[in-house]
Amino acid sequence: MLSTLLLCFLTAAPVGAAPMRAPPTSAAGTSFTPPLRGHNRQFLDTADVRDWEEWLPTGMFHGVTTNPTLLERAQEPCTIENIQALAYKALNTPDFYCQEFMCQAWGESAQDLYECGMQLAEPDPDRIVVKVPVTMEGVKAATQLIRDGDIRVCLTGCYDSKQALIAAGIGAEYLAPYQGRMTDAG
């Protein structure tokens, strides 16, 4: 059963990303494709390893994303150690083709979110992306993770297009819009 597909939008070029190859051109030098083609990444939104085993081998997904609610649904403990073990499995199983693993930090304050995020990303900061909510405390934590910790960040829980400006302003690599809730809100 496919849980949910999370569509994330890059707000900036990924850290260490290979340069995009030049798009094909006509004899007149006109490009046939837009310059940002291929920068929309789809993530399998589940902590259920059975879903990973079914869907990741298709190659349709750039990675996996999860959060405390999805961990609970999959009956996985929401602990730093367990999430790190899940990240290792997702990123190192050859048939999964998983390039990135997103996991959500938790805590009451910006400092709590920062410390949790640092621990979550520690095993592989190049491929583990820390999600933090687009709240005041979340934005403070995201700023600190990016600037002080050199951690890749996805701002999650985006309900308004104006929040994309916040993500871009602090240098978050990803923004996870909640399209259903945005549509419901008008």
CA 52 to chain centre: 16
Written as six digits, the tokens of 118 are: 């640092």
Whether 131 is a known active-site residue: answer: yes
- Note whether 66 and 7 are within 8 A (CB): no
**Helix 163-170 crosses helix 136-147 at what angle (to 10 degrees)?**
20
Structure-token match 């059975």, residue found? 50
CA dist 84 and 154 (Å) reads 17
Which active-site residues does the annotation give?
Answer: 131
